[in-house]
Structures are given as structure tokens and as C-alpha cells.
Structure 1
Amino acid sequence: MSQSAADIAYANADFIPDAAAYPLRWEEAARNWREVEHAVGRAQLNLPYGEGARQRFDLFFPAGRPEGLMVFVHGGYWRRFDNKLWSHFAAGAQAAGWAVVMPSYTLAPEARISEITQEVRRAVEAAATRVRGPIVLTGHSAGGHLVARMLCPDVGLDAEVAARLQKVVPISPLSDLAPLMETSMNADLRIDAAEAVSESPIRHTPLACPATVWVGAEERPAFLDQARWLTEAWEGAELQIDRGRHHFDVIDGLEEAESPLMKVLLG
């Protein structure tokens, strides 16, 4: 079956050399990180935030008392992956003294994007009861969309949790869902005109919280557009274009406490 123009616009792996190797490397590195952190008592795994099979998160701690909590929400176009692929990306925040929570969520087509949004809200609220202090939110691709949605008032994030938000950094986010209605993946996502409006962060005035949109300079033009649209729609939001980075390696900075990405996240 031939790809539509919309499919090509949002196809990342087709334009990244050796793209298929990335998930394999992530899986191995994440497993090794979890095993070590769990062995030394710095990881609490598979904590429930709801009744669903995928409503679980892993929580990683620094060596001392946490300065605060960083939430990382994974991507995969709301259709793929879980939190177990990304554990090693907690390393930078842990080294900086922060706890990190990584939730899974029900995937499409079992859940619609609006339902996934509410699952992530519950995960953030549940994790916030376990770690004191400020909260920063970040997520990649579809995860970038989901953390951006946490700043939208209609999501209903608990007021006490919202008051603790220090920074939100959507990484390569989907900010306008309307173009995805023209892709073949919408057979699973089931985005309709109403959801394209309600679930698009650019259609909402966000809660008062500093936001920086982070995107790789070598990403597909559609993702550069999506990042720009969000910063244009949200007054005060900043745009950071990471030179030399594509959609899969744009998150590498999360592993290093002193990386430019972590400096933006944690200050």
C-alpha cells in the first residue's frame, strides 16, 4: 500500500539511518539501568496508578533526598512502546538529585487519545504523592503532546499538583492533531474533528508555568512545524532547536545531568 503525503510527513524511521537499531539499544540500556537501580534500592517498579493493566509507573530515586520530581512520558504515536524502554533516560535527573517517574499508559486503539491524556494526569497526580518538592514534566513525541496537555485547564490536573509545576518541556511534540487525521495511523487513533480540537495543545491557553519546546534540527519538517506552532500559540513559551539531532537521538541529553536539555529542564 502506498503511503500518503501525510504518512510520509510524519514517518520518522524512514529518514533516520539505522532506525531499527534504536529500540533494541534502548531496551538493553533500560533493562540494565533498572536492574542496577533496583539492586541498590533506588528504583520502585510497576507501581499502580489505576486498575488498567498498563496503568503502572516506575519510580527512580537519586542517591540522597530528592530535590523534586521529573516526569517522563514516552512516545510511539500513542500506539507503541511502554515505560520499560526508557529507564536509562532517568540517569541525568537522578545524577542532578531528582526523582524520576516513567508511566506506561493504555495504547490506541484500545484507548482514544483523550483517555490516554486522563491516564497520564492520574499518573502525575499519583507520583506527586510519593515525592515532595517541585515537579517538571517532559515527554517525547506523543509523550510531548501528553505533557503539554497537562498544562491545559480542561485536563483537570489537581490544583495542588499544578501549583508545584516548575517547568514543562515537550520534546518533539505533536501540538496540533488535525494533520494526523490524514494519516493511515488514524485507523487506530480515531481522531475526529472534535478530538482534533480538544486534544490539541495549541487550542488551549495553558496554566501559568514556564514552558520550553525542544526539537531536533534534523527532524522531519512536520515536527519542526509542530514545535513552532506550540511556541507561537503559547505566550511566553520558548523554542530550542537542538543542532544535529533527529527524532530518535533528540532525547539523549536526558542521560547527562549537565546537558543543555537537562539544564533547561531543571535549571
Structure 2
Amino acid sequence: TILIILYIINLAGGTLGIIMMSHQLFQRRSQSVITIIIINLLVLHTFMLLSIPFRLSYYILWEWKFGWFACRLTSAIIYLHMYTTFVFYMAIIIIRLFRLEFRKCYTTTWMGAVWLVGALVITPVLLSYYGTSKTYHPYKCFQFHREIQEPYMVISNYCLIGILVAVCAVLTIIQLMVICRLAVKYWPDINSHVEFRAQAKSFFFILITLVCFMPHHVFRVYYIQNYHLDKDHRLLTYNEIFLALTTMCCLDMLCFIAGAAH
């Protein structure tokens, strides 16, 4: 029930946010670096939202009717979406934090490189190994937790967890230091200074990471270490809930519309 509620909220709010943000970007016709990244986030969130109805169908009926490849693809999309979104968030934070400026062609090039690597390298490799080491029921999906004790899965999980936590921790500390320095510098009229507002808005992306992504990764460590004790699948349920929480980052577009981060 919790999973269904989370995915319905995400689907409805995310779809509304994408429609409204697309309309706003079309009207503004801005070509800044941040705008280009946000457009890519729109596309990325769209792929994620398109996969949610398949998940909802399964969680409501408890029967998978779309074939084995669709099951693996739907399951993989949530991870591809999470880590690619994280990369885009960190890019926005770093660009604003260090006041980096790029020409449009450079921004378009590296964004295109991210998509090419994701589509032509990471996705095929992931689908080549993901959900292939064990036999699964044809009408059941999202059962790939059974592979979590495989050595390559343990190593890859720990690497991803370590990278995300380390990067997020470092940028959080730097961002807070910058915000504090600017607050002292411009006090008491801090909100009247563009520089402070820009850095405060950048912190929004760190908050999304802390709220949506970090719980899943912290729990993931515990889940991997205690998977063999999960006889009643209670840990599996918690893991799925934390995984569903990562998709709530699709609601960021509603925050953009409200002016919280744009």
C-alpha cells in the first residue's frame, strides 16, 4: 500500500511538474547552462515516470504481464534514473558553487556524452548482467534482491554507496561553509543579494539528495549485510520503500516552478 501511494504521488506530481516546467521553459527560451541541465532532467524524469505505471500494475495485481525483458528494464530504469539525476544535481551545485561558465556548445557536448555513455555503455552492460544469474518466475517481477549476495553485486553496491555518500558529504560541507560566509558578509540584508540567494537555492539539490537518495543508500548497507537473516522479507519491503522514495526527486520540477531552486 505504501509503495502504491508513493508511486501514485510521484506519477501525478512529477507529470504535473514536467508539463508546467516545459511550458515555462518554452516561454522563457533561456539557453543558460543551468537551463540546459534542467531540460535534461525533464527528459530523464519523463523516462522514469513512463515506467511507473508498469510498477503500479504489478503492485496492484501482484502479477507481471509485460514480459521478462520489460521487467528487467523497468527495474533497471529506477537505478539509472537515480544516479544520472544525482550527476545532474551535482553538476548544478558545482557550477553555481565555483561560478563556472561554459559555452552552450561545451555544455551540450558533455550533456550529450552523459546520455551516450548511459545509453550505449551503462544500460547495455547493466541489462546484460542484471537479473540473469538466477531463475525467476515469469509472472513475478522485482525479485532481483536474490542476487544481492553475488560478489559483483556487493562490490558494485558498496562502490556506488561510497561515491554518492562521499561526494554528497563534501559538497554539503563546502556549500554550508559558503552560505555561512555569505550570511555573515551580507547580514542582515542577506536576501537582497543575488549571490546569497543563488547559493541558498543550490542547497536545495543537496537537500533532495539527502532526503530522497541518502536513506536508500544508508539502508542498503544494512540490507546487504543482513540479507541472509531476512526470512520474512521484512527488510525487502523496507528496501523497496526506500527505493520508491528515490523516485520522489521527480517532484523537483514543482519546486522549480515555485521558484525554490531556479
> Under a length normalisation based on structure 1, what TM-score does the superposition of the two structures give?
0.30
More helix by share: 2
Larger Rg: 2
More strand by share: 1
> Under a length normalisation based on structure 2, what TM-score does the superposition of the two structures give?
0.30
